[in-house]
Amino acid sequence: MEKEGSKEIYQNNSVKITVDKEWCKACGICLEFCPQKVLAADEGGKPYPVNLSACTRCGLCELRCPDFAITVEGVEGKKDV
Ligand code: SF4
Ligand code: SF4
């Protein structure tokens, strides 16, 4: 996991999930909506991926987050391993 200011970045060979810990209000919506159960809550209730390889990049977490605190991007030019 990398940090960029208040953002925490989780990445594998196909997906990059960025959580802005400052913007996140720990509402838990992204956890509830993730169909793959990729996300879990940390001790502060904020999401982090426990199962990043299961992420299908469906974008629901990003779409449902009321605070624009989570983003999902594909990692270009790389393939799943
Ligand atoms: S993009 Fe979809 S599968 Fe990936 S963490 Fe978000 S809701 Fe879950
Ligand atoms: S939906 Fe957004 S604000 Fe709510 S826990 Fe997830 S990232 Fe944080």
> Considering the domain boundaries, does residue 33 fall inside one?
yes
Count of other CB atoms within 10 angstroms of residue 75? 14
> Considering the domain boundaries, does residue 81 fall inside one?
no
Residues 1-47: pLDDT tens digits?
Answer: 899 999 999 999 999 999 999 999 999 999 999 999 999 999 999 99
pTM of the full structure: 0.92
CATH code at 51? Answer: 3.30.70.20
Identify the pLDDT of residue 79.
54
Mean pLDDT score, 55-72: 98
> Considering the domain boundaries, does residue 57 fall inside one?
yes
Query: Above 60 in pLDDT, residue 78?
Result: no
The residue segments making up the domain with residue 10 are 2-74
Q: How confident is the model at residue 77 (pLDDT cuts 50, 70, 90)?
A: low
> Considering the domain boundaries, does residue 79 fall inside one?
no
Asked if 1 and 9 count as a contact pair (C-beta separation under 8 A), the reply is yes
Report the half-sphere exposure of 81 (CA within 13 A, side-chain side): 5
Is the CB of residue 56 below 6 angstroms from any atom belonging to ligand 1? yes
Identify the pLDDT of residue 76.
81
Note the ligand closest to the C-alpha atom of 22: 2
Name the domain count of the chain.
1
Measured by CA distance, the residue closest to atom 3 of ligand 1 is: 55
